[in-house]
Amino acid sequence: MNVETQMDAAKSLRTHKVKGLINFKDFSNLLKGIYNSADFDPNLHSLWDVRDADFSAVTPPEIRALAEYVRANWDMKRKNKAAIVVSGLSDFGISRMYEQILGPAATGKVMVFRNIKTAWDWIEGKPATAGQKAVGPKVPDSNPPN
């Protein structure tokens, strides 16, 4: 696993580009290192570009454990956003499971995307254009038609 992290204070953004085969222990240690770093700014949005990562060795219970760890630390993060950008269907499924576990308890927002530009636009608060939207949970209308 290789991870490149960049901080952009002007954009209030932390970007993580993850490549290679992912295993639970290494990714768990990565998350712990991020949260425990003196450079960690809980007010920054985060964009996780995992398009070149292979999560095939990570099991659903391990995904749950990772999400639970992040959820336990999310209170420090205030109202920031976290975007996860994936490429394949298997990574999309794993990321959606993570989003579902973390999302309801997080004070911020977590969304999964297949397009990095759409993810950037969402973090920046730009409206989605036709054909560009987050791949998130479907939320029923508050007043569905009869």
Q: What is the pLDDT of residue 111?
A: 82
Domain locations in the chain as residue ranges: 2-124
* Residue 59 backbone dihedrals phi, psi, to 5 degrees: -90, 160
Query: Could you read off the pLDDT tens digit of each residue along the chain, which spans 146 residues?
Result: 999 999 888 889 999 999 999 999 999 999 999 989 988 888 889 999 999 998 888 888 998 898 888 878 776 546 788 898 988 655 666 676 666 666 655 555 788 888 999 999 999 988 866 444 444 443 333 333 43
C-alpha span between 77 and 86 (Å, rounded): 23
Number of residues assigned to the chain: 146
Classified by CATH at the fold level, domain 2-124 comes out as Transcription Regulator spoIIAA (3.30.750)
Amino acid 11 reads K
- The pTM (predicted TM-score) of the whole model is 0.78
Q: In 10 A of CB 40, how many CB atoms? A: 15
